[in-house]
Amino acid sequence: MARAFLVVMDSVGIGGAPDVAAYFNGDIPDTGANTVGHIAQQCARGLASVEREGPLKVPHLDGLGLGRAVQLASGAVAPGLGREPKGVWGAATETSTGKDTPSGHWELAGLPVPWTWHHFTQTTKSFPPELIQRVCDLAKVDGILGNCHASGTEIVAEFGEEHMRTGKPICYTSADSVFQIAAHEDSFGLQRLMDLCADLAPFLHRMKVGRVIARPFRGTESAGFKRTGNRRDFAIAPPGPVLTNWVQDAGRRVYAVGKIGDIFSMQGIDQVFKGSDAELMVHLQSLLDTAEEGSLTFANFVEFDSLYGHRRDVSGYACALEWFDVCLGRMLARLQAGDMLLITADHGNDPTWRGTDHTRERVPVLIAGKGVGQLGHIGFRDVAALVAQHLDVPVP
Ligand SMILES: O=P(O)(O)O[C@H]1O[C@H](CO)[C@@H](O)[C@H]1O
Ligand SMILES: [Mn+2]
Ligand SMILES: [Mn+2]
């Protein structure tokens, strides 16, 4: 029997989405955004030199076909990348209309999103009075802070002190279909924040808002505020069976590493491993040794997106790619006969772009364990089919 490891590098897009002109960061279209292409370009120009230097060094990703995939997707050459691939490689295009994490993951798992998400489009006074009232009633407070589009780190710096003083939760959104609540773990209470998000979620899900996200933080105004690792996403459940269900229904085990459990509302998942990306990598490496024959391990590494893409930190993003590449070298050495390792992404988040939102892009599909070859252009949902086929699991 075979095993499959499906790894999503969150936001590692490669440009070239055919429908890009319909997607924006503020009022700037995403046209031309290319996460990997632009990071490689900045590195080659010596403009990504914080805690690293020189051209982007990702020999293992490139050896599986990353550079070629960038070129196929967007026509752009990623400087320093593009060697002769030793894996199976291609570029995937999304059909779902959201450039967000659930849309990307659901479609990668075989289920394009069948509806249009509700977005809070106004950048200030973003939320309807009815929603604000509901937050106030549930949290037993007499108002909220924020009520706008924001970067999560910036809004906590802006309102953290007032939040601690008044007890009002900080509510914000983005270009994604999200309602995010930031609150202090000690003064507001972590469990209270989780309960508030859980109680609000059904109302927002009925509005077709994809996720309510709890964004706990700690610290003080003078020492600075810092978000903790206790973020939790309360996401709409996928509207039908997905890859994880197909695999589980065939009597196989499904392991979720990172946010996968949240993204799929635990649908079709047997066991979850959580933590920082460094901790997730330890879990993934040990699953390479221990996962049963026939199993699927589905992993998401979110820090490319959350720590570097949204923060528009090119050096940080390049460092994260280089770290992942070193780990990939170890993973490749651990693959057993019959294993497939498929590396892909869910959307772009070009750190050289204006704004702080995701960017609409194609994504790489890089496969180890299946010889050498080209997939060319495929759809996101073909990723699910490739994995199911490898595991010999029926695709409904
Ligand atoms: O700026 P932060 O809080 O990291 O938020 C980002 O993370 C959200 C969900 O992944 C996105 O919608 C974007 O708003
Ligand atoms: Mn994502
Ligand atoms: Mn994101």
Are residues 19 and 62 located together in one domain of the fold? Answer: yes
235 alpha carbon to ligand 2 midpoint, in Å? Answer: 13
**Of the residues 121, 171, 178, 359, which should be mutated to test ligand 1's pocket, given the most ligand atoms within 8 Å of the CB?**
178
Q: Which of 235, 250, 282 is the last residue of a domain?
A: 235
Residue 189 sits in a domain whose CATH number is 3.30.70.1250
Are residues 161 and 221 located together in one domain of the fold? Answer: yes
Q: Which of 191, 218, 235 is the last residue of a domain?
A: 235
β-strand partners of 301? 9
**219 Rama class: left (phi>0) / alpha (psi -120 to 50) / beta:** left
Are residues 223 and 270 located together in one domain of the fold? Answer: no
Number of domains present in the structure of the chain: 2
CA pair distance 315, 53, nearest whole angstrom: 8
CA pair distance 268, 372, nearest whole angstrom: 31
Q: What is the DSSP track for 300-369? A: EE-HIIIIIITTT-HHHHHHHHHHHHHHHHHHHHHPPTTEEEEEE-SSB--TTSSSSS-B---EEEEEES
pLDDT for 88: 98
Strands (E), the chain: 3-9, 24-25, 28-29, 88-93, 145-149, 170-173, 178-184, 211-220, 224-227, 232-235, 254-257, 271-273, 296-301, 339-344, 363-368, 373-379
Residue 264 sits in a domain whose CATH number is 3.40.720.10
306 alpha carbon to ligand 1 midpoint, in Å? Answer: 7
Residue 121 domain-assigned (yes or no): no
Residue 124 domain-assigned (yes or no): no
Are residues 220 and 272 located together in one domain of the fold? Answer: no
340 alpha carbon to ligand 3 midpoint, in Å? Answer: 27
Residue 207 domain-assigned (yes or no): yes
CA pair distance 337, 153, nearest whole angstrom: 44
**Of the residues 171, 302, 310, 347, which should be mutated to test ligand 1's pocket, given the most ligand atoms within 8 Å of the CB?**
310
105's tokens: 């993951």
Among candidate residues 247, 325, 335, the one with its CA nearest the CA of residue 287: 335
Are residues 61 and 141 located together in one domain of the fold? Answer: no
Are residues 287 and 360 located together in one domain of the fold? Answer: yes
- Ligand closest in space to the Cα of 177: 1
Query: Residue 257 in 3-state DSSP?
Result: strand
Residue 233 identity:
D
Check: complex ipTM more than 0.90: yes
CA pair distance 38, 56, nearest whole angstrom: 11
- The response to whether 325 counts as a known ligand-binding position is no
- The response to whether 205 counts as a known ligand-binding position is no
Whole-model pTM: value is: 0.95
Residue 122 domain-assigned (yes or no): no
From residue 241, alpha-carbon distances to 27, 109, 244, 322, 383 in Å are 36, 9, 8, 35, 15
pLDDT tens across the length of the chain (396 residues) = 799 999 999 999 999 999 999 999 999 999 999 999 999 999 999 999 999 999 999 999 999 999 999 999 999 999 999 999 999 999 999 999 999 999 999 999 999 999 999 999 999 999 999 999 999 999 999 999 999 999 999 999 999 999 999 999 999 999 999 999 999 999 999 999 999 999 999 999 999 999 999 999 999 999 999 999 999 999 999 999 999 999 999 999 999 999 999 999 999 999 999 999 999 999 999 999 999 999 999 999 999 999 999 999 999 999 999 999 999 999 999 999 999 999 999 999 999 999 999 999 999 999 999 999 999 999 999 999 999 999 999 998
β-strand partners of 220? 224
- The response to whether 346 counts as a known ligand-binding position is yes
Residue 120 domain-assigned (yes or no): no
pLDDT digits (tens, 9 = 90+) for 268-308: 999 999 999 999 999 999 999 999 999 999 999 999 999 99
Are residues 144 and 101 located together in one domain of the fold? Answer: no
- The response to whether 184 counts as a known ligand-binding position is no
CA pair distance 29, 360, nearest whole angstrom: 9
Q: CA angle, corner 69, sides to 103 and 105, nearest 5?
A: 15
Q: Which of 235, 270, 300 is the last residue of a domain?
A: 235
34 alpha carbon to ligand 3 midpoint, in Å? Answer: 15
113 alpha carbon to ligand 3 midpoint, in Å? Answer: 18
Nearest CA to ligand 1 atom 7: 306
Give residue ranges with CB within 6 A of ligand 1.
101, 151-152, 174, 176, 178, 180, 213, 215, 306, 310
- Ligand closest in space to the Cα of 151: 1
- The response to whether 358 counts as a known ligand-binding position is yes
Residue 123 domain-assigned (yes or no): no
270 alpha carbon to ligand 3 midpoint, in Å? Answer: 25
**Half-sphere exposure of residue 46: CA atoms within 13 angstroms, side-chain side:** 0
- The response to whether 347 counts as a known ligand-binding position is yes
Q: Is-contact 168 109, C-beta < 8 A?
A: no
195's tokens: 């309960």
Render the burial of 28-51: b for 16+ CB within 10 Å, e for the rest: eebeebbbbbbbbbbbbeeebeee
Residue 299 domain-assigned (yes or no): yes
> Which ligand 1 atom is at minimum distance from the Cα of 306?
4
Q: Is-contact 226 217, C-beta < 8 A?
A: yes
Are residues 87 and 168 located together in one domain of the fold? Answer: no
Crossing angle of the two packed helices 66-74 and 35-44, in degrees rounded to 10:
110
**Of the residues 174, 300, 347, which should be mutated to test ligand 1's pocket, given the most ligand atoms within 8 Å of the CB?**
174
Are residues 226 and 168 located together in one domain of the fold? Answer: yes
Nearest CA to ligand 1 atom 2: 152
* DSSP letter assigned to residue 124: B
Are residues 85 and 230 located together in one domain of the fold? Answer: no
Residue 134 domain-assigned (yes or no): yes
Sole residue written with tokens 């080659």: 44
pLDDT for 1: 79
Domain range for residue 189?
Answer: 129-235
Are residues 323 and 371 located together in one domain of the fold? Answer: yes
290 alpha carbon to ligand 3 midpoint, in Å? Answer: 31
Residues with beta carbon < 5 A to ion ligand 3? 305
Are residues 200 and 65 located together in one domain of the fold? Answer: no
pLDDT digits (tens, 9 = 90+) for 66-120: 999 999 999 999 999 999 999 999 999 999 999 999 999 999 999 999 999 999 9
155's tokens: 């809004």
